[in-house]
Amino acid sequence: MSEHDHHHHDHDHSELSETELRVRALESILTEKGYVEAAALDAIVQAYETKIGPHNGARVVAKAWTDPAFKKALLEDASKAVGTLGHVSRVGDHLVAIENTPGRHNMVVCTLCSCYPWEMLGLPPVWYKASPYRSRAVKDPRGVLADFGVSLPKETEIRVWDSTAETRFLVLPMRPAGTEGWSEEQLADLVTRDSMIGTGFPKTPGAPS
């Protein structure tokens, strides 16, 4: 066993599951063959844990709420528009921002696997990758929203975007009422991950978080 393995895995666990053993074995094989540097695997995990997350998407949404020119650019070409914000995580091609309006609510799913805008929202939550959401979102989106405690007026159009290619979708939720004059930073705190997937709304100003 390498130094690396000692460092990372030998905590207090005296017994390892079959899966853990299998993962360790594969990691040993790949590093021993010289395919990957063990330290590079650590660095990947660390990068996911620290660099990406819904805070990136929240800043984009807050900017769109306060800057009409940015909002227009975002809806036209989200990759390009987000690329102009130096402080936000770098973004790949084919990011598409879709705007919620009083008449239309957008919701994103990947029925075939788990496609998700990682650079904007981080790694997807388990429910997004699991069978109940993937199976029902396209057929019964109102039922799925009810599972999240979300209900929409019955006449609101629900548009479900199934991420079947390398396009990635970011929902631009509606700006909450009562936030006139708020700064981008204040607004970003209201933007939830689920509001950018379309399974939730931004937080309401003044409500307990």
Partner 1 sequence: MNGVHDMGGMDGFGKVEPEPNEPMFHQEWESRVLAMVRAMGAAGAFNIDASRFYRETLPPQVYLSSSYYKKWLLGLEALLLDKGFISKDDVAAGHSVAPAKSLKHGKFSIADVERIMVRGKFGRAAPAPAKFKAGDRVRAKNIHPATHTRLPRYVRGHVGVVERDHGCHVFPDTAANDAGEHPQWLYTVVFDGRELWGPDSDPTIKVSIDAFEPYLEAI
DSSP letters of 97-158?
A: EEE-BTTEEEEEE-SSS----HHHH-SPPHHHHSHHHHHHTTT-HHHHHHHTT----TTSEE
Does 127 bind partner 1 (CB under 8 A)? Our answer is yes
Contacts of 178 (CB under 8 A, 6+ apart): 204, 205, 206
Give the Cα separation of 189 and 21 in Å (integer): 41
The one catalytic residue among 2, 14, 28, 113: 113
* x-marked contacts with partner 1 along 26-65 as a string, rule CB under 8 A: xxxxx-xxxxxx-xxxxxxx-xxx-xx-------------
User: Does residue 202 touch partner 1 according to CB under 8 A?
Assistant: no
Q: Using CB under 8 A, which of 75, 85, 114, 203 touches partner 1?
A: 114
Catalytic (active site) residue 114: yes
Q: Which stretch binds partner 1 (CB under 8 A): 58-66, 109-117, 170-178, 180-188?
A: 109-117
Min dist CB 203 to partner 1, Å, is 15
Q: In the range 71-100, which residues lie near partner 1 by CB under 8 A? A: 89-94, 96
Contact by Cβ (8 Å): 92, 168: yes
> Encoding tokens for residue 108?
């994103």
Report d(CA 133, CA 50) in Å as an integer: 27
- Type of residue numbered 108: V
Binding mask 134-163 for partner 1 (x = CB under 8 A): xxxxxxxxx-x--xx-----xxxxxxxxxx
Q: Is residue 24 at the binding interface for partner 1, with CB under 8 A as the rule? A: yes
Q: How far is the CB of 166 from partner 1 (least distance, A)?
A: 4
Q: Which of residues 179-198 bind partner 1 (CB under 8 A)?
A: 194
Whether 151 sits among the annotated catalytic residues: the reply is no
Burial of 39 (0-12, 13-18, 19+ CB in 10 A): exposed
Q: Does 205 bind partner 1 (CB under 8 A)?
A: no
User: Which residues are the active-site residues?
Assistant: 110, 113-115
